[in-house]
Amino acid sequence: VRWEQMEAIMARKREEKRREAQVLLKIQAMSAAKQHLKSIVPNSVTDLQEVAFPDMTGMAINRIFLPQLLGQVQQEVRTLMRAQQQVSETVSGVVRAQIAAHSQSIEAVRERHREADRKHFEELQIRQGKIRILVDDGHGGQVRVGPIQISSQDSVDEVLNRVYQWLQANEAKLAAEWPHGVVLCIDGEPIQSTGAIFEAKAGQISMVPKSEPPPAEDAVEGEEAGEDGEEGGEAGQ
């Protein structure tokens, strides 16, 4: 009997707890409903206001200002890109010009070195008796002929004969145009000694045709005697 009483008491307690929980849930539900209903009307009015009563300023911003702003931004971006492209092209052109100028400068230095080496080599050969001679090409320029081997023991006439013989063997056309021989010059002046040739610098030795020699004296006297005889014969007649 006592156990049954205890069980009945526990059942009543559980029922009270259940009812209290239901009441608490109802209170919480009512509070949540109040909070929801409290904001639903303003939210609905706000949503309807945007449709029924649009904000003209916002519409102007969205429909006019923002598209114009975006268009200006795009134009500014295109302008900036063109400016960057022009700057890049200008810089590239300057760099290419600098590279070209640098290359030309290097090539000019190399050419000067090659020319100096050529002159040095030519002067070494001159000291050894191997001479290269400048000759007019008939078009306002000069060409080099040679090398022609000469000896410091030769006289000037022997050197000239040796040079002319070399021309006949290697430059037959030029030798035919200069039938009376050649005259060697240093800086445009006829040589006075063979030693002067060995002391010349590169590009100083040149050559011109020798002038036709004057008639021999015997031939002139013979012609004069013949003319006198003819005059005497005419006088006797």
pLDDT in tens, 166-212: 888 888 888 888 888 888 888 888 888 888 888 888 888 888 888 87
pLDDT of residue 50: 63
Q: Which regions of 65-215 does DSSP assign to beta strands (E)?
A: 130-136, 142-149, 182-186, 189-190, 205-209
pLDDT of residue 196: 85
pLDDT of residue 97: 87
Higher pLDDT, 151 or 45: 151
pLDDT of residue 225: 54
Over the chain, what is the mean pLDDT?
80
Q: What predicted TM-score, i.e. pTM, was given to this entire model?
A: 0.44
pLDDT digits (tens, 9 = 90+) for 69-124: 888 888 889 988 988 888 888 888 888 888 888 888 898 898 888 888 888 888 88
Contact 201, 175 (CB under 8 A): no
Contact 197, 150 (CB under 8 A): yes
Q: Per-residue pLDDT for 234 more than 70?
A: no
pLDDT of residue 47: 67
Residue 209's contacts (CB-CB under 8 Å, 6 or more residues apart) are: 177, 178, 180, 181, 182, 183
